[in-house]
Amino acid sequence: MATDTTISEKMNDTAEMKADWSGGKPPMKASYGKLMMWYFLLSDAFTFSGFLIAYGALRMSVPTWPVPDFVFQSFPGGFTGMPLIFVTVMSFVLIVSSVTMVRAVQEGKRENKRGVVFWLLMTAIGGIAFLSCQAYEWNTLIAHENMTVFENPFGSHTVDGVYINDDGSEGETFRAGDSYLVHKTHGDWHFRKFRITSGENAGEMAYETLGPQAFGALFYCITGFHGFHVFSGVVFLIIIAVNAASGLYVKRRNGYEMVEKIGLYWHFVDLVWVFVFLVFYLL
């Protein structure tokens, strides 16, 4: 008897599922637009995964890699020696803008036009703030630290050693794994000289070299691609805010669904940043 009920329940389930797919209504109970937004985000997730996995593979393929705490330690106002503080601020900006987006969607569900417009504009401002932070970060790297797509001045030592000053005296010491930044003076790289104090070549003199070449290209490509997503998100947010303010969505049968769709996209941008933040700055 018990088996009979389970079997009939199973048959009911199958019947329901068949009914879902028998046409006339969306089988996944989501509108076409929302469904396609999900699949677009899935494909975009694979694009970003491809980039981040390439970063991982290239990072593994060289003996040393610039330490993010050393590379990203500037803060607006000329501060330096503040590792990861500025990118943490950037993360907070994006998290807050994600939360304001959720608020916009909630107001959309209540058909509160003013609320939708207000929170959408807040979200757009968050996006612009994030882009400004990124502009500062890129400017520091390009204009002050001379990192390009082809050259990366951030290196790490593979041996212990001690720097030799220009007058031949010994300067500061360093250990294997410590990072350095090669400076440019009058358009030429200035590689500092040092004496190796550990390993097979102990006692020999050596010069600093440029760091792993791929670092610059990977950084600009991946954060640039993410920044481009943020930028297009801001453009869409503004367009939808204008549409909402003009009362366009009041007349629509699906109401404020456009707000939900741009919401999905915006949360995805935040989601990608979680992993860009993890891979570039934290690990």
| Gap between the Cα atoms of 23 and 247, Å rounded | 33
CB of 211 to another protein, least distance (A): 15
Contact 74, 87 (CB under 8 A): no
Nearer to another protein (CB atom), residue 194 or residue 266: 266
281 binds another protein (CB under 8 A): yes
Nearer to another protein (CB atom), residue 249 or residue 266: 266
CB of 50 to another protein, least distance (A): 8
Q: Which of 70, 278, 84, 220 shows the shortest CA–CA distance to 156?
A: 70
142 binds another protein (CB under 8 A): no
| Gap between the Cα atoms of 32 and 261, Å rounded | 11
CB of 97 to another protein, least distance (A): 11
Nearer to another protein (CB atom), residue 82 or residue 248: 82
Inter-helix orientation angle 257-276/113-139, to 10°:
30
Among 154, 180, 268, 280, binds another protein (CB under 8 A): 268
| Gap between the Cα atoms of 20 and 130, Å rounded | 43
Among 71, 101, 131, 259, binds another protein (CB under 8 A): 101
Which of the 8 DSSP states describes residue 192? P
Which of the 8 DSSP states describes residue 150? S
Contact 244, 113 (CB under 8 A): yes
Q: Which residues are near another protein by CB under 8 A?
A: 27-30, 35, 38-39, 41-42, 45-46, 49, 53-54, 56-63, 67, 69, 83-84, 88, 91-92, 95-96, 98-99, 101-103, 106, 109-110, 175-177, 263-264, 267-268, 270-271, 274-275, 277-278, 281-283
